[in-house]
Structure 1
Amino acid sequence: MSTATTIVLIVVVLLVLAAIVVGVQAARRRRLRQTFGPEYDRVVADTGSRTEAEKELLERTKRHAQLELKPLSAESRARYSAAWEEVQIRFVDDPKDAVSTADELVTRLIAERGYPTGDYDERLADLSVEHAATLEHYRSAHDISRRSRDGQAETEDLRQALVHYRALFADLLGEDPVAHTTPAPRPAAEDTTRPDTTTEPSR
Structure 2
Amino acid sequence: MTTHEEQTTVSPEATEAEPSSEDNTMLFAGEHRSGLHSRWNDVQAAFVDDPKECVQKADNLVAEVVEELTASFADTRSRLEAQWSRGEEASTEDLRVALTRYRDFFQRLLSV
Same-fold status (TM-score > 0.5): no
- TM bucket, shorter chain: 0.3 to 0.5
- Larger-gyration structure (1/2): 1
